[in-house]
Each structure stands twice: as C-alpha cells, then as structure tokens.
Structure 1
Amino acid sequence: MSENQEEFDALRKAAYSFVNEHGKEAVALRAVCEDFMGRWRDARGSAATSAKNDRALIDDVVRWTMNRYNRPRYKPKRSREERAKMFLLTPAAYQISGEDFGRASIRNTARITGQSVSTVARHLSRQGIAPRREAKIRKLSKTGQELTRILDETFDRRAYGIIQMDRLGAALWDGAEARQVPATTRTSRRKRLKTMLAEISAANLSYSIVVVDDICGIHRGRRFPSLSEAATWIAEEKRLDRYAPIRYPSPQTETTTEYFWADPVVIDAMAVIDMAVTGRFHPSNKLDAIFRFERILFDITPVLPWLERAYHSYAGDDMAENLSDLASMITDPDTRKAVRRLGTIMRELKGFTGSFPLCFDAFQTVDFVLGIMDKTAEASPESFAKLAYIRDWFEESGAYYDDVQNELAQMLEKEKSGEWQAPDPETLSRYLPVHSTNKTTTTS
C-alpha cells in the first residue's frame, strides 16, 4: 500500500470502476491501473512518486481487486412489492387490452402496462394464460387437445419423465376408470398415440417426445440432445422403474347450483370471525382470509418468516404483540409496515371481540376492523347479500359464538344434505347493497 493515502484511494476507485463495468480481466485491469498512474504522475509532477513505488502499488491493487473485490449486487429498479403488484395486475391488463385495442394480446398488454413483451408473457404464463400456446393447441384435433391437457397436468414447466403407452392411452380414452381392453384395441391406441405425440412434439408446445417400443420419454421445456441419448435415458429410467404418475386435468364443468355456504367470501368471513373469537392465528395459511380482505402486501412472502418467529417466540403467547415487537427489527420499509399493520389487525380482532362474544358482536367486530361489508359491496354484491343475511340471522338468534361454533363449521354439509335451506333469490335480493339495487333498477 502506498504511503500516499490519496493516491491509493484514487487508484483503488479506478480499479473498482473498471471491474464493475468490464468484469475481472487481469491484463486489462493492470493496463488501466498503469495508465491511471501515468496520468496521476503527469498531473502532479515526476517527483510526486517513484516508478518503483508505482509498480508496487499497482501490484497490490490488482492482486487485491482480483482476489477480494466483487461487483456490487444488482439492485432491481422496482421493489419486490412493485414487481408482485405488476404480476397480479397483468391478467386484468390483458383483458383490458382486448377492450381498448379490439384484441387481447401480449403486445397490447405490454403497451398498457409499460412492461416488455417477454415480461408480460412470463407473468401471464405463470398464471395459466398463454394465448399463443392456446392458439397452437386449438389447431390440434380434439383428442390431441385432450392429450395435451393431460401432459400439461402431469409435467411441470421444466419436468421430464417416462410413461407407458398403454397407461397413457387408458388415461386419454378411459379416464380414471380402469378397464380391460382387447389386444387389438391397445395396438390401435398405440398407433394413434404415436401420431398425436409426434404432432404435439412438432407443434412447438415446449414438448420433446421420443417413443421407444411401448414407452414414451417426455421432456418439457427442453429438447433431447439426440435420439441415441434419449433412447439410453429411457432405457435407464425404465430399468429403475421411474415412471411419471399420470395426473388428470380438473374437469371444467359449470355447476348450476351454487351453495350459499360455499361462497369464497362467506368462507373467508367466517374464518376471520373464528380467528377473532379463538385468538388462534396459526398456522400462517389461516391468515390468507385476512390478506384477501386487507391486502397489506401484494407479495406476502417476506412477512411469512416473521409470522413464524412471532408464533414460536419465547416472549409470550400473544402473537399480535410479538409481531409488533419484531417489526422494529425489519429493515425493508414495506415489510415493516405490513407486519405492523398485521399485528394491529390481530390485536384489534382479539381485543374488540372479548370473552364469550355474541355471534353478531363478533361479525360486527370483523366488519369494523377489516371493513368487509364495504369492500364486498363494491367487489361482489351477491356475496354482500349473503353476508348481510348472516349478520341479520346472528342478530335475531342472539346466540353466543362458543355455543354454535361447531354448528357453523358444518353449515355447508347441512346445506348439501338439505338439513339447512338457503334463502331464495328473492329474499337475498333485499339484502343487496343500495348502489347495486339502483344500478339493477336503472338497467331494467
């Protein structure tokens, strides 16, 4: 190190700047340091330093920079919260693009959101929306489309595995019901499957498929290096008996009857009421009901570790109080604010409900803390009507929550069995929010 601290700091910063821009290249770095020292000497006169000291200083800085210095970590331009928000809003923007531009497309969505086309495509794909891929699938035969759905359900975006052709054929044509088929039927199925698998592999749907005898090897998201390597891999997987379990796509059937107690908003409201009365907010997935009413963060992942720390804290059993105490240790401002807000919600839910509350009081507490009625009136008037009906039912019954807790948990089963009758549409219409009723009247 040079005795001249100013000289050393100047050369060090010049070396760091080069590495940040061009990476670690020893020869180029030394040339930059030598050029810098030459200009430094010319600016301050030859007497300022000696050539021997220059070489020693350059050697030290180059060695230190190559061995110990690393580029600063890349800091994204947007925060995690902003990225999560854009991820969740992209499907809605995709629908809006169809209204604004006449056709919903990735490029039009990018024009609305200001994101790149590749970013929009990635966001939509992760949420099951891939318009270009769907267009390619629709070009296949109906049976080929069904086969593609089975493969999509069985293999993740980067998964791979082997499947017996007979089992795949049974999944395609017989569904979950296994049955014996004649040998001639199995043979014809294999021929049809080979043809369809070849079409799927060539349709650019991110599948690479190779059929060897009665086994098909499938790579999703990548290609086989060669046919010989694919055959070797399939033979090894077959020897180890590593067959991929076939998963069936969820049936896309429209239910004509929607149960009263199966409404997602009603389920969430009842879950929050139960948490408020019992004071039990763990495991963390129970809090999803709160997060859907109060979006404290678009991406709650950073909050989850603090929830676990609060639950397992030795400070006491009050999870809300533990959360508030831990919030001061969080460096990220968005996460700190979210944890404090969640702690406040949990504390108010427990505190305002009190001991042995009436069902009506518990409902009113949850509405006061989270504003569920106002939020539901705007987002889902039908769900608002159901909640308002439950609220009036609680008020008329005058029951204590502890006395009917188990009964409330079984209301959906009772409705399905006919033991409890849901109110008819005319009755529920009287509970619709005012602005929704006026809108309906105006439209008609």
Structure 2
Amino acid sequence: MSANPEAFEFLRKSAYGHVQRHGKEMRALRQHCQGVLDAWLRDEGGGSSVSSSEANALVESVTSWVVQNYHKPKRKVLRRREERAAQAVVATIFLDDAAEAGMKPSVRNAARLAGRSKSTMARHLRLQGIAPIRDKRINALPTRVKRLVHILDISFPIDGAWLVRLDHCIAKLWDDADALPEAIPRSTKSERRKKLPELLAAVTAAGIGFNILVNSDVIAVRRGRRFHGVKDAAAWMEEEERVNGFKLLRSSETDRRRKRFWDDPWVVDVLAVLLAGNWRTFSNVDQVEPWLRLLRPLIDPRPLIAVIQIAISRAMQGDFVLDLQSLCAGVTDGEVRKAGYRLASVMETVRLYAERGWEPVDYFDDADHVLKFMTYLATTAPKSYAKLMYFRNVILPKVAADYADDPNPIYAALRRCNALSDEERVGTWKAPNAGELAAFLPPKG
C-alpha cells in the first residue's frame, strides 16, 4: 500500500478505467497514470505532500499491479427470455457430453462444458427432472409424503407461489380426484384433514425447495423461496385469493401410468379446448392453459400468462380474444407479443369452426388443423395419440349419432364425452384395452 492512500486510490480507479477502454498495454498505461497523477497533484492533491520519487514509485506500482492482476469485467450478455428457456431445455445434453468425454456426468462438469455457473446448470437440470441430491432426499421420505411431493412437482414445476384448497389436496392425495367423494365417512375426512398439515410440514422440512403454510382450509405453496413470516404470508394469501384464486393439482407421473382413459392429460386438454371453443370470456387462467399446452407458442409461457391474467381480470370488451389483442399491442417483448397475437388468432379461428355447427368429428379435425396437436403427440406421446385417435374415430362418431337432432350437436356430444370420465370411474363405461388402442398408434418411421 502506498504511503499516500488517497493518491493510490485515485490512481487505481483511473487505471481501471483506462484498461477497460484501451486494454493492458503497459507503456500506454504508465503514461496515462503519470499524466493523471500529475494533474491530480496540481489540483485536488496539491496539499498531499507527495514527492517526485514517491509519485514515480506510485505510478510504477499501480501500473505493474493492474497489468498483472486486473481483469476487465465481462459485459453481461443480453439474452432473450426464450433463449434462456432454450438453454434450460438442452441442459441434459451437456451431461451426455461429459460422459462421452470420459468425465463424470455431474453438475460441475456439465456447467464447465456449457460455460455456465454450477447454480445455473443445477437449476436447468432440475427443470428437466434431474436433481440427484434432491431426489435422494425425496426417496428418504415416507411413501405418502413422497407422493405428495410428486404431485406438487408436476403441479408447480417452476418457482412461484400459489393457493390450493385443503379439501382438493386431500382428494388428490388419497383418492386421485379433484373433489372429496360424497361417500367418504366423516371420521375419515376429519382424520385426513388433521393428517395433511403434518405431511405438508414434512415436505417443507425436507429441504427440497417447497415452503408450505396452512391457514384454515387454504394451503399456500411457495417454490424457490420462503414466505417472509406468518403475517406477510397471511396478507399475501388474502390478496392472492382475491386476484388469482385457487390452483388445481395435477396427478403425478406415477399416477398417470395407471390412469383411466379420460384422465390422460392430453385427452383432458383437447376436450377442454373443444368445449371452450366458442367461449367469449374466461374466468381464470386455468381455463386458457390447455390452449397454451396444445399450441406451445413459447418455451417459457410465463410472461404470456401474465398478459392473459390481465385480459381476464379486466374483460374490457366482453371478448377475451379482443382484450388479448389489445393488450398485446402494448407488450414490448416482441416474442411475447407475437405469441399473444398467435394465441388470439387460433382461438378466434377455432371459435369460427365451432359456430359453424359442423359434425363433431369435423370440428375435432378443424381444431387439430389449427393447433396441430396430433402431429406433436405422434412423436412425443404416442399412447396419448392413440387415445385421441380412438376418441376421434370410435367414441365421438358414436356419441354424435345420439345427438344428431340436438340444436347444438357439437357441444351436446362433447358434454356427453366429458361425462364419460365419471362413468369410467364408477365402472359403467368401459375403456378400450391396450390391444384395441394399439391399432391407433402412430405409424413408425
């Protein structure tokens, strides 16, 4: 350290600025430091009593140290949201690259190959379902708690905060249903209501990224961060219930493997879109999300969901499509704006198809022509593709024939199909077996 800290600090900062602008050429840096120090001694540092020899030594020491130790800060690369989302999607490739290079397929090595930080790579891999330490903690949990974690993971895959009704969570956890069965004994219901908060507390204590609070019959779920105290959480819960309402839980992947025909998530989404085809307004974002899952306008749809939420809450024109188009005009992010316009256009087109009142099978084909979900499912979810083909070729024509004389045959048939889920659950409707569905699988190659 120099005998004159004030002069040293001034010269150091000036040298940093020179290197950032002109690089580390020593002669140029020395000349810069000499000129800057001379000017400083004539003006601000006139009373610093720095001798000529001390000034020369200071110039040499600062120049030498900066050249050897100072590194120009890297300018943060500006990336679009979709680029960041795409990086998260391809994170698993770097694990494979590490293994092929003879390295351990770890987060550290994947991050090194990708040029990312370990925390960023770990977060991206977690979004793809790869989190070894977290998985180890989950596997150590009791069976019921483990199943609850799987339900929360698939329902809330990204960081955020949501509200869930207590009884809905009980129904999903114990009966894989959206509502408590009417036949459930009162004692069983009471016992489960007492047990669920204990299970949720175990999820929070496991240290796997969930922070959960229970207030009466409302559950607050936060992923990624913790609530800031009970008082703040209670205020947030009140506001969240007023603005966004409650979320529905989805079944875990384990449950899906033994799902009934009508509980296939893609069948559920397609049927929801067909039923909502001629709706002009929506009451919550959950009703629009099936459209997003089928259309896939963005890798990360969160910014578009925020716009959708505003369009629903304002409902200025009594027409969701018009409200969404109006809001998109003011969106600064070009990709989000384009995705919003695309969603509005698709919904308007499907609405026109629905209002024409053609045959239900034709309506299915028209919706698929716009959303192209069957082409997507043929490669990503062939079993769901087979179920939808069976629905289109077998179930829908048969049901449509029963409602051919209805004033609105499309929606009469679709409402009837929607009711078949309950009939399958109680055993009065029989789903096709694996052999029957095999005939509807997409062609190979």
Q: What's the TM-score, normalizing by structure 1? A: 0.53
Using the TM superposition, give the Cα deviation of residue 146 of structure 1 relative to its aligned residue in structure 2, in angstroms: 3.9
Alignment of 1:57-76 (within 5 A): none
Alignment of 1:143-292 (within 5 A): 146=142, 257-292=258-293
Which residue number corresponds to residue 304 of structure 1?
305
Using the TM superposition, give the Cα deviation of residue 389 of structure 1 relative to its aligned residue in structure 2, in angstroms: 1.2
* Pair 1:430-2:439 in alignment: yes
Distance 1:351 1:148, change over 3 A: closer
Does the 8 A contact of 2:108 with 2:118 survive in 1?
A: yes
Does the 8 A contact of 1:385 with 1:428 survive in 2?
A: yes
One-letter amino acid of the counterpart of residue 427, structure 1? E
Which residue number corresponds to residue 349 of structure 2?
348
Matched residue SS, 1:277? coil
Task: Provide the C-alpha distance between the structure 2 equivalents of 1:293 and 1:93, rounded to a whole number of angstroms.
Answer: 28
One-letter amino acid of the counterpart of residue 302, structure 1? P
Task: Provide the C-alpha distance between the structure 1 equivalents of 2:208 and 2:285, rounded to a whole number of angstroms.
Answer: 37
Which residue number corresponds to residue 237 of structure 1?
none
Distance 1:253 1:364, change over 3 A: closer
Per-residue CA shift, 1:108-144, capped at 9, x if unaligned?
5336644333321233346664314556x59xxx9x6
Alignment of 1:292-331 (within 5 A): 292-313=293-314, 315-331=316-332
Task: Provide the C-alpha distance between the structure 1 equivalents of 2:270 and 2:392, rounded to a whole number of angstroms.
Answer: 11
Task: Provide the C-alpha distance between the structure 2 equivalents of 1:340 and 1:113, rounded to a whole number of angstroms.
Answer: 34
Does the 8 A contact of 2:307 with 2:327 survive in 1?
A: yes
Distance 1:253 1:365, change over 3 A: closer
* Pair 1:401-2:401 in alignment: no
Matched residue SS, 2:296? coil
Which residue number corresponds to residue 339 of structure 1?
340
> Which segments of 5 or more consecutive residues in structure 2 lack a partner in the other structure?
1-12, 21-31, 45-74, 154-158, 160-188, 193-201, 210-223, 226-250, 404-408
Query: How many residues are paired up?
Result: 295
Identity %: 28
Does the 8 A contact of 2:321 with 2:347 survive in 1?
A: yes
Does the 8 A contact of 1:90 with 1:123 survive in 2?
A: yes
Per-residue CA shift, 1:231-281, capped at 9, x if unaligned?
xxxxxxxxxxxxxxxxxxx99966874311111111111111112133444
Matched residue SS, 1:354? helix
Matched residue SS, 2:331? coil
Using the TM superposition, give the Cα deviation of residue 386 of structure 1 relative to its aligned residue in structure 2, in angstroms: 1.0
Per-residue CA shift, 1:329-362, capped at 9, x if unaligned?
1211121111111111111111222154532232
One-letter amino acid of the counterpart of residue 355, structure 2? G
One-letter amino acid of the counterpart of residue 342, structure 1? L
Task: Provide the C-alpha distance between the structure 2 equivalents of 1:122 and 1:319, rounded to a whole number of angstroms.
Answer: 35
Does the 8 A contact of 2:357 with 2:410 survive in 1?
A: yes
Task: Provide the C-alpha distance between the structure 1 equivalents of 2:378 and 2:208, rounded to a whole number of angstroms.
Answer: 42
Task: Provide the C-alpha distance between the structure 2 equivalents of 1:316 and 1:308, rounded to a whole number of angstroms.
Answer: 15
Per-residue CA shift, 1:81-110, capped at 9, x if unaligned?
222232344357657866886964323533
Distance 1:309 1:145, change over 3 A: closer
Task: Provide the C-alpha distance between the structure 2 equivalents of 1:333 and 1:257, rounded to a whole number of angstroms.
Answer: 42
What root-mean-square deviation, in Å, do the aligned CA atoms of Structure 1 and Structure 2 show? 4.9
Does the 8 A contact of 1:385 with 1:432 survive in 2?
A: yes
> Which segments of 5 or more consecutive residues in structure 1 lack a partner in the other structure?
1-13, 22-31, 41-49, 53-73, 158-175, 180-196, 207-220, 223-249, 440-444
Does the 8 A contact of 2:103 with 2:109 survive in 1?
A: no
Which residue number corresponds to residue 373 of structure 2?
372
Q: What's the TM-score, normalizing by structure 2? A: 0.53
Task: Provide the C-alpha distance between the structure 1 equivalents of 2:271 and 2:253, rounded to a whole number of angstroms.
Answer: 28
Distance 1:303 1:403, change over 3 A: same
Which residue number corresponds to residue 47 of structure 1?
none
